């Protein structure tokens, strides 16, 4: 029986490429976290400065935009990596939700107590920065989880 080393190398190379493609699925598109952060910031501004109708409309718009970004993510990667169903990486999602909610509430309370808008603007910028940081750490955690499973 002959040993065809060239085809063996090609087969191993194809397996490795498949592993790398599977790991790449865990990466979010470049636009995903900025879009999510802008959505959270606008939601925070609406909740801090708007009345009940504005808050309701902002929440509906945020949920609709979230569904659109989820579809875009799925179209870009072929899969959806859910934040609360990602094993150990889910803790990043829970922490992010608590921190961002706390930031929105703090911006609203400080803005109300001082009677000015600048705390709300700072809150919106913080929400955007928090979302970008969350995205970086969440993607890293998902990639770390997938790399050993595929090796």
CA distances from 32 to 68, 72, 81 (A): 10, 8, 12
Domain count, the chain: 1
* pLDDT given for residue 45 in this prediction: 92
* pLDDT given for residue 124 in this prediction: 92
Q: What is the dihedral of CA 133, 138, 143, 146, to 10 degrees?
A: 180
**Structure pTM?**
0.74
Q: Where are the alpha helices (DSSP H) in 4-117?
A: 5-24, 32-49, 52-77, 90-114
Structural domain of residue 89, as residue ranges? 5-150
Q: What is the mean pLDDT of each run of 10 residues along the chain (151 residues)?
A: 66 71 69 92 89 91 92 82 68 86 89 88 93 89 68 51
């Amino acid at each position: 029986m002959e040993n065809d080393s060239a085809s063996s190398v090609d087969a191993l190379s194809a397996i490795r490429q498949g592993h790398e493609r599977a790991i790449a699925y865990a990466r979010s598109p470049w636009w995903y976290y900025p879009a999510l952060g802008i959505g959270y910031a606008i939601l925070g501004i609406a909740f801090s400065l708007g009345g009940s109708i504005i808050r309701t409309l902002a929440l509906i718009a945020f949920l609709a935009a979230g569904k659109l970004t989820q579809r875009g993510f799925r179209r870009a990667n072929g899969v959806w990596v859910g934040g609360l169903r990602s094993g150990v990486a889910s803790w990043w999602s829970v922490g992010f939700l608590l921190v961002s909610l706390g930031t929105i509430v703090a911006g609203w309370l400080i803005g109300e107590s001082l009677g000015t808008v600048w705390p709300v603007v700072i809150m919106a910028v913080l929400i955007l920065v928090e979302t970008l940081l969350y995205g970086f750490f969440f993607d890293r955690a998902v990639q770390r989880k997938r790399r050993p499973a595929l090796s």
